[in-house]
Amino acid sequence: MAVFEDLPEECIAAILSLTTPLDAGRLSLISKTFRSATHSDAVWDKFLPSDSNFIDSIISQSPSLSNLPTKKALYLALSDRPIIIDNGKKSFQLDRKSGKKCCMLAARSLTIVWGDTELYWNWIVMSDSRFPEVAKLNHVWWLEIRGMINTHALSPNTRYGVYLVFKMIDARGFEYIPVHLSVCVEGGNSSTKIVCLDPKVEPMPHNGAGRRNRHMRMMLRRLEDKVIGLQRPSVRSDGWLEIEMGEFFNSGIEHEEVHMSVIETKAGQLKENFFVEGIEIRPKQDN
């Protein structure tokens, strides 16, 4: 690395701008010259999304960002926490390591069948949600949630994962019911998976003798068999649950619509106390 020490700091900054934010942080440990170069606006301007109009739009919806003194400070602010945009219907954030765009569609931006009928769904405030309100399922038999995002809002040359973000508080009707999740790029690839949204399904008791109990055990086993081995949600760092719905690659060559759905309409099972925060689209970790 001694050969780089003889280069002007501007040249080192130009080289660093061709790496990633994670690599720039590591290279800053080499020397004082490198450390100084990693603070350059020329470096962090390359790490920010290239669409300046998009960044200006984000800043206009979060005025505190306009007072930041450097491009690095702006990058760190955009990657530190979600920025609520579009009147509370979406959030935006940069992935800290890569600078790729992350987006969450709030429940209000999704199409929820009977979502505006208070008998079936309510819109409530939850203190641990990033959004002004979330959707609370009172009770339905027919569960259908759909969302859409245009790839123009995402980073090019990036593989994205799509995640349903939700909670269950004294929930009913999800324990042994398979749910269909799908992600479809318009005119392109689509994927569908069957999952169990209940994070803690336990085996049903099979005790008891007699014909009636034997019949009951058979029914219970059939219910269990439907969800054995199915993917289940995991707990996020913010306390919500998430489950991966699918993934897609955004080439960035064309602006395409990505459609997502959560559907369970066949079991005839009443479902209750399911809280939907939204659907998150973020870069896969292998990017």
Interatomic CA distance for residues 135 and 244, integer angstroms: 19
More confident: 228 or 170: 170
What was the pLDDT predicted at 162? Answer: 98
Is the pLDDT score of 40 beyond 80? yes
Q: In this structure, are residues 92 and 102 in contact, taking their beta carbons and an 8 Å threshold?
A: yes
Q: pLDDT tens, 64-82?
A: 898 999 999 999 999 999 9
What was the pLDDT predicted at 36? Answer: 85
Q: In this structure, are residues 259 and 195 in contact, taking their beta carbons and an 8 Å threshold?
A: no
What mean pLDDT comes out for the span 246-253? 92
Q: What is the 3-state secondary structure (H, E, C) of the chain?
A: CHHHHCCCHHHHHHHHCCCCHHHHHHHCCCCHHHHHHCCCHHHHHHHCCCCHHHHHHHHHHCHHHHHCCCHHHHHHHHHHCCEEECCCCEEEEECCCCCCEEEEEEHHHCEECCCCCCCCEEEECCCCCCCCCEEEECCECCEEEEEEEEHHHCCCCEEEEEEEEEEEEEEECCCCCCEEEEEEECCCCEEEEEECCCCCCCCCCCCCCCHHHHHHHHHHHHHHHHHCCCECCEECCCCCEEEEEEEEEECCCCCCEEEEEEEECCCCCCEEEEEEEEEEEEECCCC
The share of the chain scoring above pLDDT 90, in percent, equals 65
- Residue 201 pLDDT class (50, 70, 90 cuts): low
Domains defined for the chain, CATH in brackets? 9-80 (no CATH), 101-283 (2.60.120.260)
Q: pLDDT tens, 42-69?
A: 999 999 998 888 889 999 999 889 899 9
- Residue 213 pLDDT class (50, 70, 90 cuts): low
Q: Chain centroid to CA 11: how far? A: 37
Count the Cβ atoms, other than its own, within 10 Å of residue 79: 18
More confident: 77 or 32: 77
